[in-house]
Structure formats: C-alpha cells, structure tokens
Chain A
Amino acid sequence: MVIPSLQYPQIPLLLLGCMSVFIFMAARSFKISNVSMALLAALSFLLVFSYVIFEKQLFQIANRSFKGFSNNLANLFSSAAFYSYEPGAVFISLITFGLATLVSIYCAEYLNLDRRQHAFYPLLILMVCGLTGMLFSANLMVLYLFCELMSISAYALVAFRRHTDTAIEAGFKYLMMGSVASIVILLGITLLFMSYGSIHIADMRGSTSWSAQIGTLFFFAGFCLKCALVPMHTWLPDAHGRAPSSISAILSGVLVQGVFYVMLKITLSLGFNHVLLGTILLCLSLLNIMVGNLMGLVQNHTKRLLGYSTIAQMGYITLCMAVGLRNKSMLALQSGFFIILAHALAKSLAFLTKGVFHYYVGASEIKDLRRASTLPIFPSLAFGISIISLSALPPFPGFTGKWIALSSFFLSSDKITILSALVFLAGSLIAFGYYFPLLLTLFSKPQKKVPDENEKKTQKKISFWMSLPIAILVISILFISIVPQYLMDTSIEAAQFLMGMMR
C-alpha cells in the first residue's frame, strides 16, 4: 500500500506561496485589518504545520525510512527537486512552522507599531517558504532559488522599520554580505555543475576533479556566511538587533539553524570527508562560542545582546554537530538537534517578550528593562525563563541539551573533543556575564521617581494576541523540561539520517 507520506513537500510550499500572494492582494484591494491579516498568516502556517505533522505520523505508521529521491523527471516541481521524506528537514521545518504561527499571532498586536502591514505578512510567509524549500530541496538550483527567496525576504524584513536609520543600515549590511554569500554559493554550484554535468545532488558524489573540490568549498564558505559562523558573523547582531522583535524571533530562533543544517546535509552528500568537515566546523564553532560570548559582555542594547547570544548558541550547535561528524557519535548529533529546538524556543521567547517591553514601556536598552516592573509580572517571568534556559541552568531544555552534549563529548577519548568541551563550559560561564545582569535589571527595584499623572493611571494589560504566543512558548519549554525524553526520541531519526550520510 502506498501511503502518501511527505512525498510532496511541494504542497506546503505551494500553499505558502499562494497565501502570500493572497494576503498581499486582499490587503491591497479590501483594506483588511492587521488582525485579520495576522490570523490569515497564522492559519496558513498552522495548516502546513499540521500537514507536516499528519504526514509524519502516517510515515511513522507505515514504518518506512528515508529512501532518497528519484531523479527521473528533471522538472522543477517534480519529486526530483525535493527530498521526499527527510527527517532532519521535517524536524526543523516543524519548528519553523510552529514559530511562524506564533509570531503571526503575536504580530496581530505588535505590528500596530508599524504601517505597511500588507507587505509584512507576505514577506514573512515567503521567508518561511524559502527556508522550507531549502530544507527539502534535492537539487542545487532549487536550493539556490529558495535560498534567494528566503534571503531577500529577510533583507526586506530586517529593514522593515525603514523610518529608522539603524534598520536601514542593518538591512543594507545584511543585504551586502548576504549577496556576497549568494554569489559565492552560485559560483560553487556552477563549478559543481561543470564537474558533474548535473544539478541533482544524487548525481554528485566522489568526484576528485578540482572543480568539484573547489565548488564544494565555495558552497560551504558561502553558507558559512549565511549561518553566521565567525568570522563571517558581523551582519547578525545588526540584523537581529534592528529587525522588528517578531522577525528577530524567527531569524534567530530557526532561520540560521535551518541554513546551517542545509549546509551540513548538502556538504556531506557532496562527498566532503566527514572528519575534515567536522574538524573545520569544530574550529569555527570554538571561535563562535568565544566571540559570541565575549562580545555579548559589552553590549548595552538588549536585542543586539541576544544577537550575540545567538552567535554563541550557533557555536554550541555547530560544536555538537562537529563532534558528531568527527567521532561518528550519534549522541552528539542528537544533542545538536536538542539544542536547536531548545534554543529556538528560548530565543524566540526572549525576543517576543522583549517585543512586549518595547511595545508597552519602550524598553530597548538593557537599563530600560527596569521599567518592565510597571507591567504585569507575566512577561518578566517568561523572559526570565528564556534567559535561564539560554544560560543552560537546570531544569530547562538548554541545560538538558548541554548535559547530553557534554556526556557525548566526555565519552570520547579524543583529546580535542575534551578540550572543546572545556571551551563549551568556559563559554557558558562567560555567558553568565551578560545573562545575569539582564535578569538582575529586569527584577531589580524600579528607581523612585516623582509620581507622574500619566503613569499612575496605567497598570497596563497585555494584549491577548501578545500573551498567547508567549504562553504557548513557555508551556512548550516547560513541557520539554518535564519530558525531555520525548524530544530525544524525536531527534533520533534526524540524527540517524545524518549518520547515514557519513560514508
């Protein structure tokens, strides 16, 4: 019996593409309100989310495993263009869709700060669509197209608040660096095509010709920039610090990690030696950990700080994956996926609550967080939870991920792995240098002021649209902290898939 598993990743992609056009047209012609646009976007994300979950369940019932992809049809929208069922991509795309749903709901209120909402939601949907396309693409040209779709929407979204100079600057910087990366990637793809005479990943393996080698290297280097591996990270703090908080949540939470996963997968399947790749990534990840954490210490802008924290967390994820590749360690790969989800939840929660503070009390610098005490304690607690999870304190998933990662590191007898574990620990100690003041400022006493008429009347209420996503994120963080085994079981398939890639 043939069960329609996720053989057609085209379906979510098409749906998302149509929805973006639909929302744009509807907004232009009927002047529909921000809330309804947000809910439409949320609905479409929810639809694709449930589609993927549904297919995943069916797939598991049928008990089939990834069998690769056929390349009989060279058509762009044939199954040759996409992996039919790819556990890692499913894992990350589920996180993406989930976060995107929450962010859209959140924007129903948050975007009242801005105008031009009719451009926002289509761009958001296109960005998610681009990421999903990248995750599932089995064809370098399709990969490139979706990568550009994602990047261009992301540039536009970063510069969405175009009335501020800083947003324009950040968007421009992101655009320039991202374009360089795109060109390098395109060059790599061209060289690979030159060498293999095909753009299908299935055809590309094991050529020792110079063009294939250099092409793989170019491809790798371009993607390193896109996923902010030090020293190619400089765009990230600006972009994530200046984008609207809701966008930063997706950018930091899942976009970078998704791109990283794609890079890892494709580079491996291009026949890059996994030990070599692991070693290169290990060096980069150590740089990431140190630079991200040290630069985080000197920030005074909350979102920039969170951006540097993302760089550091990318370092942890990269380190786990790198150790997994070097030592062929299943547990390390699993911990990488664990940290991806833990970080996605915690970081997006941090950005969303930061958005609440920004929206209601205009807090953007760290010292402004004091003003949060005029709000109900709920967002402050949520922010606290996310920070504690990010700084890897028990019992939150950040700590469980760290525990699993360190266990896998200490199991190996490799000296370099042990040393990098120590860097991991040192990094998380340094990270307290900026996480802890953040917490302290949030929960410290507000400065005594002359009572102001305007301030007195408002014990502000937080909008339902903003508190719902925050509550859902908090609940999912608590869920993972109570039942981490569930996540371990979920990530096992993805890790197995990557293990299978190493030959």
Chain B
Amino acid sequence: MKTQELINLSVLLVKLLPAFLLLIIGKTVHRYAKWIALTASLASLGLFIAYIPTLQQGLNTPLNLDYLPSMGIQLSLKIDWLSFPFLLTEEFVTIFAMIFAIGYIKTDDRNHIFYALLLLFSAGMSGTTLANDIFLFYFFWELMLIASALLVVNWGESAKKTAVAFKYFIITHLGSLLVLVAFIMVCSQSGTDHFSALRDGVQMAPETIPLIGTLFLLGFGVKMAVVPFHIWLPDTHSEAPMPVTIMLAAAMLSMGTYGILRFPMSFLTPGQFAMFTLPMMIMGIVSEFYGAIMALVETDIKRIIAYSSVSQMGYILFGLGTLTLSGVVGATLHVVYHAIVKALLFCCVGWIIKAVGQRNIKEIRGLRKKLPLLTTCTILGALSIAGVPALAIFNSEWLIFSSGFQTPYIGLAILEILGSILTSAYILRLVGTMFFMPGEVSQIHKVPFSVKLVTVSLTILTVIAGIFPKPLFNYVANELPLILGGTW
C-alpha cells in the first residue's frame, strides 16, 4: 500500500475518528470540542492539498478493499479531477463553517455532539466525493443526510425544527432511494460496483437506459433541490443553525451536481444521454425563475437566500443539460463559485441576525451607517450573485449562458439570460431595503470576531476568484471534456 493511496483514506479518517471519539468520550472535553473539530478539518484540508501534486502527475491510484466479492462489491477510494472541485469546495466550506460556529454557537455541555455531527456531516460529503465505488458512495451519501438531519433537529432555530428535519429527511431519503434503485440496477447488470470498471463501458440493456437515467436525475435532483423537489430546502435552510446552513447550502447542494456528473453523465455515452438534454434545460429554467420569484416575495432574509439557492441550482442544471463543454465546465465552476458566494451571503445574514436580532426584512432598515464593514461584504456578495463582472459568479454564468447558444434551443438560452434579471431584482430588494431604506434599527448587538473573520475572508475570496479564474478553470476543465466523449 503506497503513501498516495493512504492519503485517500486519511483525508477521511482524520475527520471520522475525531468525530467518533467526540461522540463517545467527548463529554469530558466538550469545552475544547470546537478546537478539536477545527484541527481535524484543517488536517483534512492539508492532506488533500498535499495530494494535489500526485494528482497532477497522474499517480492517483485507487485504494481498494474487498468487501462482498460474491456480489462484486469492492470498496474503493480515489481522488480524480472530476471529484477535485467538489472535494475542494467541501473542505473549504467546512473550515469556514467551523470557524463561524466557534463564535456563533453558544458553548454548552452538548457542544461535543454538535461538533462531532458537524465533522460527520463533512466526512459524509468528502466521502461521497472520494468514493470510487457505488457502495461506499451510497454509505457516505446517507451519512451526510443523517448527520445533517440530526443537526437540524437538535440545534434548529425555532419550535418547528422537528417537523422540518423530518420533512428534510423523508424527502431527501426518497431521492436517495431512487438513486439506490438505479445503483442496484447498474450493479446487478454489470456485476461490479467499481467506478473504473463501470466507466470502461457497461453494456446495459438498451431498454433500461432511459429508466436508469431518469432515476438518477430524479434522485440527484432532490438533493440539488430542483423545482418540484425543492420543497425541503427553504424550510431546512432557514431552520438549521447558521453554520449548518452554510454547509448545507454551499457544499451539500453541490453533491447533487456531482452525482449527476459522476453517474448518468459518465456511465452513459453522450448519445445515450442526449434524450435528457431538453428536460434538464427546461427544469433548470423553471427552477431559476421559481427560486428567484419566491426570493422576491419572501420576507425572512434567511429564506430569501435559501430560495436564491434553488434559483442558482437552476443555472447549474441548465449548464449540465446543454451537454456542451462550456456548459459542463461552467456548471462545475458555478458549483465552486456558488459555494463561496452563498457561504458569504449566509455569513452576512448570520451577522445581521446576530447584530439586529431580527430576520424579517421589514424590520431591518438603515444598516449602512451602523455596520459599514457588513455593508461592503454584503454588497460585494450580492453583486457577485447578480453576475457582475470581475466577481466570482460572472465567469461561470458567462460559460453557462454561452453554452445555451451552442444548442439548437436558442429560445431557452434567451429565457435563461432573462431569468438572471430576476436574480438582480431580488438581490437589489434585499440589499436596498436593509442598507439603504431610511429607518433605524433599535439596537445593535456585538458580533463575535469569528463571524466577522469568516465574512471578510469570504468576501476577499469572492473578489480573487472573480479576478483570477484561470487556475481553478484549469483544474476543473482537466477531465470534464471526457464526459462528452472519449475514454477515461
């Protein structure tokens, strides 16, 4: 077993082991739980970064482990260029959320469980991206769900939390079951669950291909919160404690995108996948419009940002659906940028809630004079999500928009662009009301330093990512073209 292979495992273990230790014997060290969790996630990020040179040299061999040979199940872990942007996003978001939580969550004697679950949630996401076989993928996929549901139910912000967590769990689990059916169909037809073996060409019965593709898209669509399946998202995101919301919105939503890229788009040839193009583009546009309109009429600032996620996922689905290089690369880049910007916006909202103690947009007025730093950060984040050039999201939006014109459906591409006007509308309403409308909030509370730190650093990241898109672009575009044809 080589060192490179072990790093695959240790990226995970470095989070999983502290999580279990904290769960079991954490009561004695609950005061230090946050530092343990932060160290663990930093270590995980460090190991991941140390792995990048190996990845560049193409030495990223999988770590294999026989599990259930008679069913063809072999556990396997591997980092490749497809999982790279998702893993990167997830690791960074975890660290930002952890730092945010240190100031935001009050220290009590159940702290260790909170941080253990946060670590498990994060490990679930990194495991999902690291997994190189279906069984392990599904395991981490469910771990992510259980951990986040437990976080919402125990640390939710209002009395509705149990009902909300329950809804979240059942709906997303329904999605998981659809994916599971597709997985089992693929596995039982091909006799293996290893990604590499599956990518090398699975001979699937032609009549099952539409069914498998649909199951995958529906299942991952639930996780992505594409419109008819989005109903869990606004409640969950507004109910969850802010650090968990950051992780849910910025990192977990992207797992649906990863699933679509990894499964239906990789297993099926572009020719086979072509039948899903139009439905995906249409669903993308519907999500985009619906999310934006709902964000326009909501009054709870946390829910506004939550609906904005639905809208942004619409862009991503549209980009994937075009099945062009710029669309797919744009969608993947959009995942990363959206993570940064959405984390930033939720941090700003968290700051406002901490400072003002209000979530209703009608009650929050004239923050510009009182909180200038927050105003700058929020405005940069808002401009970014509205697609203003030189800020993060513009680059990926450009790619997605241009991809629309490479397809025969020019009308859809134009609709897609028109949709972004609505994005500007709701973001202007949010920023304009809170910062520029005349009025006063009665009292400004003190905000923890860690909240400010995370917000400011995310703002800087937004600007940097917007001005220098090239390194990230190169990383992302490394293997993605292979999805559209070619051998792995």
A381, A440, A444 — most chain B CB neighbours (10 Å)? A440
CA distance A22 to B27 in the complex (A): 47
- Contact in complex: B165, A394 (CB < 8 Å): no
- Within A421-458, the residues touching B (CB, 8 Å) are 421, 425, 428-429, 432-433, 436-437, 439-440, 443-445
- Contact in complex: B188, A484 (CB < 8 Å): no
- Contact in complex: A425, B177 (CB < 8 Å): yes
CA distance A444 to B68 in the complex (A): 36
Find chain B residues with CB under 8 A from A411 CB. 188
Q: Which of the segments A266-274, A281-289, A357-365, A401-409 contacts the partner chain? A: A401-409
CA distance A484 to B65 in the complex (A): 13
CA distance A388 to B173 in the complex (A): 13
- Contact in complex: A403, B177 (CB < 8 Å): no
Find chain B residues with CB under 8 A from A407 CB. 71, 184, 187-188
- Contact in complex: B68, A488 (CB < 8 Å): yes
- CB of A395 closer than 8 Å to a CB of B: yes
B71, B154, B180, B187 — most chain A CB neighbours (10 Å)? B71
- CB of A208 closer than 8 Å to a CB of B: no
Find chain A residues with CB under 8 A from B166 CB. 436-437, 440
CA distance A421 to B154 in the complex (A): 34
CA distance A445 to B67 in the complex (A): 37
Interface membership of chain A positions 390-416, coded 1 if the CB is closer than 8 angstroms to chain B and 0 otherwise? 000111000010011011101100000
- Contact in complex: B174, A429 (CB < 8 Å): yes
Find chain A residues with CB under 8 A from B162 CB. 437, 440, 444
CA distance A37 to B448 in the complex (A): 61
The number of inter-chain residue pairs (CB within 8 angstroms) is 77
Find chain B residues with CB under 8 A from A439 CB. 150
Contacts A436-B169, A444-B154; is A393 near B146 (CB within 8 Å)?
Answer: yes
A388, A400, A407, A433 — most chain B CB neighbours (10 Å)? A407
- Contact in complex: A485, B70 (CB < 8 Å): yes
- CB of B138 closer than 8 Å to a CB of A: yes
Find chain B residues with CB under 8 A from A445 CB. 110, 154
CA distance A488 to B30 in the complex (A): 42
Interface majority SS on B: helix, strand, loop or mixed?
helix
Contacts A406-B181, A432-B169; is A488 near B70 (CB within 8 Å)?
Answer: yes
- Contact in complex: B24, A485 (CB < 8 Å): no
Q: Which one of B153, B170, B180 contacts A433 once the chains associate, using CB atoms below 8 Å? A: B170
- CB of B298 closer than 8 Å to a CB of A: no
Question: Could you say which interface size class chain A belongs to?
Answer: 20 to 34
Contacts A440-B153, A488-B68; is A393 near B184 (CB within 8 Å)?
Answer: no
A436, A437, A443 — most chain B CB neighbours (10 Å)? A436
- Contact in complex: A388, B187 (CB < 8 Å): no
CA distance A410 to B27 in the complex (A): 46
CA distance A450 to B27 in the complex (A): 22
Q: Which one of B27, B66, B110, B177 contacts A485 once the chains associate, using CB atoms below 8 Å? A: B66
- Contact in complex: A410, B188 (CB < 8 Å): yes
- Contact in complex: B138, A394 (CB < 8 Å): yes
CA distance A344 to B138 in the complex (A): 24
Find chain A residues with CB under 8 A from B169 CB. 432, 436
- Contact in complex: A395, B139 (CB < 8 Å): yes
Least CB distance from B114 to A in Å reads 11
- Contact in complex: A485, B68 (CB < 8 Å): yes
Interface membership of chain B positions 135-167, coded 1 if the CB is closer than 8 angstroms to chain A and 0 otherwise? 100110011001001100110000000100110
Find chain A residues with CB under 8 A from B113 CB. 443
CA distance A364 to B18 in the complex (A): 33
- CB of B9 closer than 8 Å to a CB of A: no
- Contact in complex: A400, B68 (CB < 8 Å): yes
Cβ-closest chain A residue relative to B184: A406
Cβ-closest chain B residue relative to A394: B139
Q: Which one of B23, B153, B181, B187 contacts A377 once the chains associate, using CB atoms below 8 Å? A: B23
CA distance A484 to B139 in the complex (A): 15
- Within A367-400, the residues touching B (CB, 8 Å) are 377-378, 381, 388, 393-395, 400
Q: Which one of A394, A404, A440 contacts B142 once the chains associate, using CB atoms below 8 Å? A: A394
Task: Sample 19 A-B pairs with CB under 8 A, ordered by A number.
Answer: A377-B23, A378-B24, A381-B23, A406-B181, A406-B184, A407-B187, A410-B181, A410-B184, A411-B188, A429-B170, A432-B169, A432-B173, A436-B169, A440-B166, A443-B150, A444-B162, A484-B68, A485-B70, A488-B70
The 6 closest A-B pairs by CB, nearest first: A394-B139, A407-B188, A406-B184, A410-B188, A411-B188, A395-B139
Residues of A within 8 A of B (CB): 377-378, 381, 388, 393-395, 400, 403-404, 406-408, 410-411, 421, 425, 428-429, 432-433, 436-437, 439-440, 443-445, 484-485, 488-489
Beyond the given pairs A394-B143, A410-B188, A428-B177, 18 more chain A to chain B contacts, judged by CB atoms under 8 angstroms and listed by A's residue number, are: A377-B23, A377-B27, A400-B68, A403-B135, A403-B184, A404-B71, A406-B180, A407-B187, A410-B184, A425-B177, A432-B170, A436-B166, A436-B170, A484-B67, A485-B66, A485-B67, A485-B69, A488-B70
